[in-house]
Amino acid sequence: MKYVPARRNSYLFDDLFDDMFPSFNTRNTALMKTDIREKDGKYLLDIDLPGYQKEDIKISIFNGNLTISAEHNESNEEKDAKGNILRKERYSGSCSRTFYVGDAIKESDIHASFTNGILTIDFPSEAKKQEEETKYIDIL
């Protein structure tokens, strides 16, 4: 009879890998936790972005999709009295999230602020439809 080892719990090793290399973490739910609520005819999004600065965050809208992305790069160096590098560390991290908000929402309808690691975005829950002008077709 041949001995077949039991299947290992891969999550243990995945967690170790994710902790060492957070940019490869596809199961990380800690990034961009979002609260969505509706108040006074507006949608309000509160997005947690700890460790990021206002300059690290970009918000765009294209084809009715609101995309929030954040990227942070950091480098730390410690040198001795002679200028020799004793320790050098680098960190790079990014995250992105997209929400469908509808084709009627325009850039001017969206307002955002960033305070204490929380990005707040608001936009109308029902976009005003533009009144279409009646266009006549010439008969030839």
Identify the domain containing residue 34 by its residue range.
29-124
List the beta bridge partners of residue 77: 88
For residues 42 and 120, the answer to whether their CB atoms sit within 8 Å is no
Predicted pLDDT of residue 136: 57
For residues 105 and 123, the answer to whether their CB atoms sit within 8 Å is yes
Instruction: State the total domains in the chain.
Output: 1
> pLDDT tens for residues 77-130?
888 888 887 788 887 888 999 999 888 888 888 999 999 999 999 999 876 555
In-domain check, residue 45: yes
Q: Which residue type does 114 have?
A: F
The tally of CA atoms less than 13 A away on the side-chain side of residue 21 is 6
In-domain check, residue 79: yes
In-domain check, residue 40: yes
In-domain check, residue 134: no
In-domain check, residue 9: no
In-domain check, residue 35: yes
CATH assignment of the domain containing 70: 2.60.40.790
In-domain check, residue 55: yes
In-domain check, residue 20: no
> pLDDT tens for residues 31-65?
789 999 999 989 999 999 988 899 999 999 998 89
